[in-house]
């Protein structure tokens, strides 16, 4: 970058961060995810470090951020309320631990790990045991007096008996529990009021509210993590937490003293797993040097103490700007709306798309282009849009409506009674549906036609050589050979693979048909129960419903498919092509060697090799001529073929001598 570009970039970042700071600290709203904000700050820090002469005097990397709010009394802190160095990297936590250990080579160093509560930092001043003032962190030097707000909605020890008369200060985090947050939002929803985005926003909003009386129902809580006062000279952070609890304060619901980086990371991971069960939103772990004397000797930078670091979890929910909605057509014709937004990191990956499920879900969200949407990655892999911030909607934002005709072929969409999904009924000619159906048919777990990939399917469809899966089996060699990208060898290979797929068992054929809701497991159950397509086609609704784990939705889908004349014609053609439409007669699984393969080698005392073969076959087994991976047992007489034996041993095939073989037969 040219120096002028660097300077411009620094200015851009300073302005942008300044804007987000104002939103966050003045209005109590976060227009950007914490993660994205931290990334901006990190970019700025890196540029400033590389070009110190371009650093502005009021850089947000130097100041904590918050400016006093209008209408509040400004109070200077006795000692600055600093921020914490943050990282999203486990390696940086390990480096922090190493740095600390190096500073005190001859001393024991341990660390207190506490959850990082996602709330608002407060300083609470006590004189003669009485609460006199509560102040927000503000810019670190001075904050807003929120004593009156706190009196309305945050229960704190008011009069602490039996404490020294010297003033002391408790620092910690005000927050709203997840349960209260949910209940408040539920009530707002019922009244049609806009919802709060997250517990932190409502906590900040509550403490900034101009109408102090109006925050009575907000029910905030507080965890203390710092105690300052001349009468309280706790030797460690652990001791300070114990004293805070004895004074009547709640302290973080979990914390741990760790001796090294390994123990810290173990706790960090444990909390990542369990934080959903905590009553409060936790966005990371704060790792603090335990001994306060060591903390003092490490000191602080202008912004944050050197004795602590905050490891932040990648967010599991994020907000982003909705850039558009597309409508995706699946192989069964169902149309799914998909939201596209500015990429955001979410639980370890960058996400830019999320399913909006169906027309009803889309209508419920009531989205407009440019909206700020909330995205979550819950238990599922696919992220979902869970809400929209109406308060930040632009007036000219274009509303998003579900489409009425197929995005691919223009056919009017249908919706079956009682079903949420809209679908394109044009399954015979709608190209994405045909392509999806053929690709599913050829899938590795279905007919396993290896060479029939997306490009080939496109070429076959475009040349109108196939329309249904059955057409694959009558593909003329010359027509395929003439297609772009196909030569003698590739044509032979494709046709051979297609022909080979005729041996796939009936359960895979059933799955390959792509009947909606009939996955591999259901297909296997149907095949095992009915054993042939003919029997399945005769099955009644009652009969189908009696099968375990096959419910109404699946049954309706199967019946709909089998009764559809278009599918009936296709099924006939598939059968005529020689695809497996039945399972083979069951082998008697009670026989001792049922479906076991043997190789016999050498001569035996009690029987000839022919008699041995007969014995095996009568017991349900098969005798193969050579050792291969399919072989289950190697029966060895005397004068065994040495290379056969070596191969069997190499492949770990159990070797049975005559006596053992006879025992097994018995």
Residues belonging to the active site: 116
Yes or no: say if 623 and 616 are a contact pair by the CB < 8 Å rule: yes
175 vs 422 by CB, closer to ligand IVH:
175
- Of 14, 34, 66, 82, the one binding ligand IVH by CB under 6 A: 82
Three-state SS for 518?
A: coil
For ligand IVH, which stretch binds (CB under 6 A), given 113-121, 337-345, 576-584, 642-650? 113-121
Residue 114 binds ligand IVH, judged by CB under 6 A:
yes
Nearer to ligand IVH, 227 or 286 (CB): 286
**Is 34 a binder of ligand IVH (CB under 6 A)?**
no
User: Which residues are bridge partners to 223 per DSSP?
Assistant: 173
Site membership for ligand IVH, residue 435 (CB under 6 A): no
Give the residues across from 656 on adjacent strands.
635
Number of residues that bind ligand IVH (CB under 6 A): 14
With a CB cutoff of 8 Å and minimum separation 6, the contacts of 5 are none
Minimum CB separation from ligand IVH for residue 365, in Å? 32
Q: Say whether residue 117 binds ligand IVH (CB under 6 A).
A: yes
> Both tokens of residue 163?
């404490």
Q: What are phi and psi of 244, to 5 degrees?
A: -55, -45
Paired tokens of 241: 């937490």
Q: Closest CB to ligand IVH among 121 and 153?
A: 121
Query: Among candidates 210, 207, 217, 151, which has minimal Cα distance to 25?
Result: 207
**CA-based nearest residue to 388, from 303, 325, 479:** 325
Out of 48, 173, 371, 507, which residue is the one contacting ligand IVH (CB under 6 A)?
173
Give one DSSP letter per residue of 339-386, joined into a string: EEEEEEEETTEEEEEEE--SHHHHHHHT-BTT-EEEEE--SSSS-EEE
In the bound state with ligand IVH, the residue whose beta carbon lies nearer, of 281 and 658, is 281
Element (H, E) at 39: helix 34-50
Least Cβ distance, residue 76 to ligand IVH (angstroms): 17
Interface of this chain with ligand IVH, residues 120 to 149, rule: CB under 6 A:
121, 137
Nearest residue relative to ligand IVH (C-beta): 121
Q: Which residue(s) pair with 329 in the sheet? A: 335
* Min dist. Cβ of residue 137 to ligand IVH (A): 5
Interface pick for ligand IVH out of 24, 72, 225, 267 (rule CB under 6 A)? 225
Give me 275's structure tokens: 């934080």
Q: Which is nearer to ligand IVH, 228 or 581 (CB)?
A: 228
Q: What is the footprint of ligand IVH within residues 369-398 (CB under 6 A)?
A: none
Ramachandran bin of 443, using left for φ above 0, alpha for ψ from -120 to 50, beta for the remaining angles: beta
Q: Does 252 contact ligand IVH by CB under 6 A?
A: yes
Q: Which is nearer to ligand IVH, 241 or 615 (CB)?
A: 241
Question: Which positions from 185 to 224 touch ligand IVH by CB under 6 A, shown as an x/- string?
Answer: ----------------------------------------
Out of 77, 116, 331, 377, the only residue in the binding site for ligand IVH (CB under 6 A) is: 116
Contact between 17 and ligand IVH per CB under 6 A: no
Burial 76-109 (b: 16+ CB within 10 A, else e): ebeebbbbbebbbeeeebeebbeebeeeeeeeeb
Give the per-residue contact string, 37-76, with ligand IVH (x = CB under 6 A; - = no): ----------------------------------------
Site for ligand IVH in 504-533 (CB under 6 A): none
CA distances to 87, 175, 198, 316, 317 from 313, in Å:
9, 18, 16, 8, 11
Helix-strand-coil split of the chain, %, nearest 5: 40, 20, 40
Token code pair at residue 432? 């994405």
Q: Which is nearer to ligand IVH, 305 or 637 (CB)?
A: 305
CB of 18 to ligand IVH, least distance (A): 18
Report which of 582, 575, 559, 334 is spatially closest to residue 469, judged by C-alpha positions: 575
Please, what is the minimum distance in Å from the beta carbon of residue 160 to ligand IVH?
22
Residues of span 292-331 touching ligand IVH by CB under 6 A = 305, 310
* CB-count burial class (<10 Å; 0-12, 13-18, 19+) for 46: exposed
The answer to whether 84 contacts ligand IVH (rule: CB under 6 A) is yes
Task: Output the smallest distance, CB 284 to ligand IVH, in A.
Answer: 8
Contact 459, 453 (CB under 8 A): no
Q: Coil, strand, or helix at residue 188?
A: helix
Stretch that binds ligand IVH, among 78-86, 486-494, 523-531, 636-644 (CB under 6 A): 78-86
The nearer residue to ligand IVH, 114 or 371, going by C-beta atoms, is 114
The whole-angstrom separation of Cα 181 and Cα 33 is 19
Three-class SS state of 135: strand
Options 81-89, 197-205, 231-239, 448-456: segment touching ligand IVH (CB under 6 A): 81-89
Q: Do residues 621 and 598 make contact, with C-beta atoms less than 8 angstroms apart?
A: yes
Residues 6+ apart with CB under 8 A from 401: none
> Smaller CB distance to ligand IVH: residue 242 or 626?
242
- Can you state the angle between helices 431-442 and 454-462, rounded to 10 degrees? 130
Cα 476–Cα 477–Cα 481 angle in degrees, nearest 5:
125
Shortest distance, position 280 Cβ to ligand IVH, whole Å: 10
130-136 and 372-376 strand pairing: unpaired
Q: Compare residues 117 and 156 and give the one whose CB is closer to ligand IVH.
A: 117
CB of residue 26 vs ligand IVH: minimum separation in angstroms? 17
Taking the least distance from each CB to ligand IVH, the nearer of 117 and 153 is 117
CB of 265 to ligand IVH, least distance (A): 18
Return the range that interacts with ligand IVH (CB under 6 A); candidates 36-44, 111-119, 233-241, 390-398. Answer: 111-119
Provide the minimum distance between the beta carbon of 132 and ligand IVH in the complex, in angstroms, as a whole number.
Answer: 21
Q: Is 461 helix (H, G, I), strand (E, B) or coil?
A: helix
- Identify which range of 53-61, 115-123, 424-432, 652-660 contacts ligand IVH by CB under 6 A: 115-123
Rounded least distance, CB 149 to ligand IVH, Å: 17
Question: Measured from the CB atom, is 75 or 84 closer to ligand IVH?
Answer: 84
Q: Find all residues with CB under 8 Å of 282, minimum gap 6, and list them.
A: 115, 116, 117, 118, 271, 275, 313
Q: How far apart are CA 181 and CA 206, in angstroms?
A: 12
Which of residues 59, 83, 177, 260 is near ligand IVH by CB under 6 A? 83
Cα 69 from chain centroid (whole Å): 38
Q: Report the nearest approach of ligand IVH to the CB of residue 121 (Å).
A: 3
Per-residue tokens: 469: 């899966």
Catalog residues that contact ligand IVH under the rule CB under 6 A: 82-84, 114, 116-117, 121, 137, 173, 225, 252, 286, 305, 310
């Amino acid at each position: 970058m040219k120096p002028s570009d660097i300077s411009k970039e620094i200015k851009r970042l300073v302005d942008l961060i300044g804007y987000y700071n104002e939103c966050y600290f003045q209005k109590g709203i976060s227009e950007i995810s914490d993660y994205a904000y931290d990334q901006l700050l990190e970019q700025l820090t890196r540029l400033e470090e590389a070009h110190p002469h371009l650093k502005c005097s009021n850089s947000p990397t130097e100041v904590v951020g918050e400016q006093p709010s209008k209408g509040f009394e400004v109070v200077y802190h006795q000692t600055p309320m600093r921020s914490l160095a943050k990282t999203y990297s486990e390696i940086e936590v390990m480096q922090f631990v190493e740095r600390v250990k190096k500073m005190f080579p001859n001393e024991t160093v341990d660390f207190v790990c506490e959850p990082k509560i996602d709330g608002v930092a407060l300083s609470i001043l006590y004189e003669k045991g009485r609460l006199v003032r509560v102040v927000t962190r503000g810019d670190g030097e001075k904050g807003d007096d929120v004593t009156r707000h706190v009196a309305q909605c945050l229960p704190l020890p008011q009069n602490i008996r039996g404490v020294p008369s010297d003033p002391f200060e408790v620092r910690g985090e005000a927050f709203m529990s997840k349960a209260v947050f949910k209940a408040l939002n539920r009530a707002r929803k019922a009244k049609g009021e806009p919802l709060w985005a997250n517990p932190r926003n409502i906590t900040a909003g509550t403490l900034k509210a101009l109408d102090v009386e109006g925050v009575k129902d907000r029910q905030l809580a507080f965890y203390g993590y710092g105690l300052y006062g001349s009468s309280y000279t706790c030797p460690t952070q652990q001791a300070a937490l114990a004293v805070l609890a004895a004074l009547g304060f709640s302290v973080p619901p979990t914390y741990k003293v760790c001796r090294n980086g390994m123990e810290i990371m173990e706790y960090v991971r444990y909390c990542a797993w369990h934080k959903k069960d905590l009553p409060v939103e936790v966005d990371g772990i704060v790792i603090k040097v335990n001994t306060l004397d060591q903390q003092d000797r490490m000191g602080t930078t202008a912004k944050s103490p050197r004795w602590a670091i905050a490891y932040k979890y990648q967010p599991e929910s994020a907000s982003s700007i909705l850039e558009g909605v597309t409508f995706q057509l699946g192989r069964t014709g169902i149309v799914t709306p998909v939201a596209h937004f500015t990429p955001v990191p979410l639980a370890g990956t960058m996400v830019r798309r999320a399913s909006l499920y169906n027309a009803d879900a889309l209508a419920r969200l009531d989205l407009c282009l440019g909206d700020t949407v909330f995205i979550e990655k819950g238990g599922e892999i696919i992220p979902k849009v869970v809400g929209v911030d109406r308060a930040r909607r632009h007036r000219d934002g274009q509303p998003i409506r579900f489409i009425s005709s197929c995005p691919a072929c223009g056919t009017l969409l249908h919706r079956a009674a009682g079903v949420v999904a809209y679908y394109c009924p044009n399954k015979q000619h709608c190209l994405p549906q045909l392509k999806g159906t053929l690709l599913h048919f050829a899938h590795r777990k279905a007919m396993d036609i290896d060479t029939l990939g997306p490009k080939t399917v496109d070429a076959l469809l475009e040349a109108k050589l196939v329309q249904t899966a059955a057409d694959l089996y009558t593909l003329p060699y010359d027509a395929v050979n003439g297609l772009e990208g196909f030569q003698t060898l590739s044509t032979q290979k494709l046709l051979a693979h297609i022909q080979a797929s005729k041996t796939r068992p009936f359960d895979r054929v059933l799955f390959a048909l792509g009947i909606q809701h009939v996955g591999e497991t259901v297909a296997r159950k149907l095949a095992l129960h009915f054993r042939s397509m003919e029997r399945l086609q005769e099955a009644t609704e009652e009969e189908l419903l009696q099968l375990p784990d096959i419910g109404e939705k699946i049954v309706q889908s199967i019946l709909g498919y089998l009764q559809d004349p278009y599918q009936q014609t296709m099924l006939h053609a598939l059968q005529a092509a020689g695809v497996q439409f039945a399972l083979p007669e069951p082998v008697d699984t009670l026989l001792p060697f049922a479906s076991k393969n043997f190789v016999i080698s050498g001569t035996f005392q009690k029987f000839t090799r022919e008699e041995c073969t007969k014995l095996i076959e009568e017991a349900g087994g098969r005798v193969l001529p050579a050792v291969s991976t399919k072989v289950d047992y190697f029966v060895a007489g005397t004068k065994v073929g040495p290379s056969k034996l070596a191969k069997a041993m190499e492949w770990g095939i159990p070797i049975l001598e005559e006596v053992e073989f006879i025992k097994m037969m018995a």
